[in-house]
Amino acid sequence: MNAGDTGFMLVCTALVFFMTPGLAFFYGGLVRRKNVVNTMMACTAIMGLSVVMWVLFGYSLSFGGNHAGIIGDFRWFGLNGIAMDEAGPYADNIPHLVFAAFQMMFAMITPALITGSLVGRVKFKAMFLFIALWSVVVYYPMAHMVWGEGGFLAAIGSVDFAGGNVVHISSGVSALVFALVLGRRRGYEHTAYRIHNIPFVALGAFILWFGWFGFNAGSALAANGLAAHAFMTTALASASAMLSWMLLDVIKDKKPTLVGASTGLVVGLVAITPGAGFVPIWSAIIIGALVSPICRFMISFLKGKLKIDDALDAFGCHGIGGIWGGIATGLFGKSSINSVAQWDGLVFGDYHLFVAQLIGIVVTIVVAVVGTCICLAIVRIFTPLRVDAAEEKLGLDLAEHGESAYPTFNGLDS
């Protein structure tokens, strides 16, 4: 084992942890004043729930053993047998416990992403129970299929450096399904949903960008050149996407916006995640520049044409951004950068990686759709999914938590 790699991975683990509080600020700033506590509380509760579940059985189901390339077993229940001073099967340069801790933070932020599509109308109890079930039904199998020993998607040659399938597509698609089942906010077509705190949005985006360097660079599992490569592609794709979104703002509204720049940098991070350690640095500019118009079009299409209330665009940003990122990895991936990729991408004359990426994306979508429907069916046995009309009008901060983020503003929200 290597002390330098261990220290690097512990820092990256802390950075990835910090992303979930960043997401809470990002989402919290985007909603109306009367729902900010509820929105941030969703991320907060998931931080606690995900850690306990991961330690008890989540890590073991994701990375312990192998059953049909889909799921692990309970050999490491409660992290039993996970040594703090011995390497594990996934990295021989760091303690097994460090690898488990790093992956725990991925299991934390992924379900938190789903909550963005549900704000303003979902019962907290229903959301909490859904996240617990979804982690078992969708996230743990996806983590195993992509990253676990003998995982199905890894076996067919599909690659995902830091979570395009496992994190973004799975959560984005699930968010869309949940939003469709939940239904639109009351008065959706006749109400202007104004962003209540733009500085919160920017702060959350900046924290996410900061933490994402641990998310992607840390997925190299060592302080080495591959980590540096992933660090640079991450920075470049995000910067390119931010500039691209600003340009779209100027073209459409004649003015750049801070919310647009913040959204752009986030979708750039989403898009580069699956390929950060596979694609050439120059290609990150293209990946980032194209993800903004792709996501912006999808957001407009969902809300303008289909009238789907994906409140904070969890699918439009993470689902679509993750799909584009997976496709882009199939286009620009190079085995010379990372030998985990068995083939070069389509741009370099080989179609095998591109096809494997498409299969991985389709499988992830199917797992997310079916898994989400199963989880929602179970949740409905125990509790309604939505708050009632009076609670929705009052705001979920008071209705669900008895708290108000801005007491002096009571009564100003309709």
Q: Is 316 helix (H, G, I), strand (E, B) or coil?
A: helix
Burial of 350 (0-12, 13-18, 19+ CB in 10 A): middle
CA 103, CA 386: separation in Å to the nearest integer?
A: 32
CA 330, CA 334: separation in Å to the nearest integer?
A: 9
**Longest alpha-carbon distance in the chain:** 62
3-406 has which fold? Ammonium transporter fold (1.10.3430)
> In which element (H, E) is residue 87 found?
strand 87-88
pLDDT tens, per residue, the chain with 414 residues: 899 999 999 999 999 999 999 999 999 999 999 999 999 999 999 999 999 999 999 999 999 999 999 999 999 999 999 989 999 999 999 999 999 999 999 999 999 999 999 999 999 999 999 999 999 999 999 999 999 999 999 999 999 999 999 999 999 999 999 999 999 988 877 777 789 999 999 999 999 999 999 999 999 999 999 999 999 999 999 999 999 999 999 999 999 999 999 999 999 999 999 999 999 999 999 999 999 999 999 999 988 888 899 899 999 999 999 999 999 999 999 999 999 999 999 999 999 999 999 999 999 999 999 999 999 999 999 999 999 999 999 999 999 999 999 876 555 554
- Cα 342 to its chain centre, rounded Å, is 26
How is the chain split into domains, by residue range?
3-406
- Point out which residues pair with 386 in neighbouring strands: 122
- Point out which residues pair with 95 in neighbouring strands: 87
CA 414, CA 249: separation in Å to the nearest integer?
A: 28
CA 27, CA 24: separation in Å to the nearest integer?
A: 5
Count CB-CB contacts under 10 A for residue 376. Answer: 19
Q: Is the pTM of this model over 0.75?
A: yes
pLDDT score for 281: 98
pLDDT score for 189: 75
